[in-house]
Amino acid sequence: MTDMDIFEKQAFGKKLGIGHRAAVLVIDFQVGFTSDAKFGGYNINDAIANTVDLLAAAREVNMPVAHVRFIAQQGGFDIGPFGEKVPNLRELTADNPDSAFVTTVAPIAGEYVAEKRHASAFFGTTLSSWIISNNVDTLFIAGCTTSGCVRAAAVDASAYGLRPMVVADCVGDRAQGPHEFALWDLSQKYADIMSLAEVKQYMQTLEMAVAA
């Protein structure tokens, strides 16, 4: 028996399945995360490109969409120990071009937008209120990084009683190892991992239901 077999033995990794109403949550697809010299790396740009398709499919069926990005106060005095662990985050102030949403996946009119000061999209934002007001119980999660802010949001979504669906093609990290392990760990404890193709197929069923 390998050290991972114990998870199956203890009945980890059961499927949650999609609930009655879903929304898309896009996390930290900001300009600075497109550059290896700043906050990016490994597959983040690929995840951004795939999220263009995810957003197009969601908007086609009028699925609620939320965008959350990281913004620090001038000097980074408001992000606490997070800024001590990752000092460069203090540079992501509102007036820094690196803080801007990547244009190809930027919010459009009518979509929820929030700014956060820590990893989770829920911490210090009104995201949970927006989810409740839209009667949402399932989140299709895209963004970066897989092992950081995506993971934190998925864990908090689970804590709020939601069904996190991490879209594997639409999440990225600055290194392969953390990305792959985070997906595995999330799949065992907190979330379902879905491909972009699976999510788009689900959205097509919604479109057909509306047309019927």
Looking at the predicted structure, is the pLDDT value of residue 170 above 70?
yes
Looking at the predicted structure, is the pLDDT value of residue 59 above 80?
yes
Tokens of 56: 């197009």
Report yes or no on 5 lying in a domain.
no
Looking at the predicted structure, is the pLDDT value of residue 211 above 80?
no
Report yes or no on 9 lying in a domain.
no
Total structural domains within the chain: 1
Report yes or no on 113 lying in a domain.
yes
Question: Which structural domain, as residue segments, surrounds residue 199?
Answer: 19-211
User: Where in the sequence numbering do the catalytic residues fall?
Assistant: 149
β-pairing verdict for 192-194 and 163-172: parallel
Looking at the predicted structure, is the pLDDT value of residue 207 above 70?
no
Give the per-residue pLDDT at 76: 86
Report yes or no on 101 lying in a domain.
yes
Mean pLDDT of 1-16: 85
Report yes or no on 11 lying in a domain.
no
Mean pLDDT of 54-72: 97
pLDDT digits (tens, 9 = 90+) for 98-146: 999 999 999 999 999 999 999 999 999 999 999 999 999 999 999 999 9
Confidence bin at 205 (pLDDT 50/70/90): confident
Mean pLDDT of 16-38: 96
Report yes or no on 187 lying in a domain.
yes
Report yes or no on 7 lying in a domain.
no
Total H helices, total E strands in the chain: 7, 6
Confidence bin at 8 (pLDDT 50/70/90): confident
What are the φ and ψ backbone dihedral angles of 143, each rounded to 5 degrees? 135, -165
> Contact, 199 vs 207, CB < 8 A?
no
In the chain, what percentage of residues exceed pLDDT 90? Answer: 88
> CATH number of the domain that 202 lies in?
3.40.50.850
Helices 176-189, 151-159: inter-axial angle, 10-degree rounding = 10
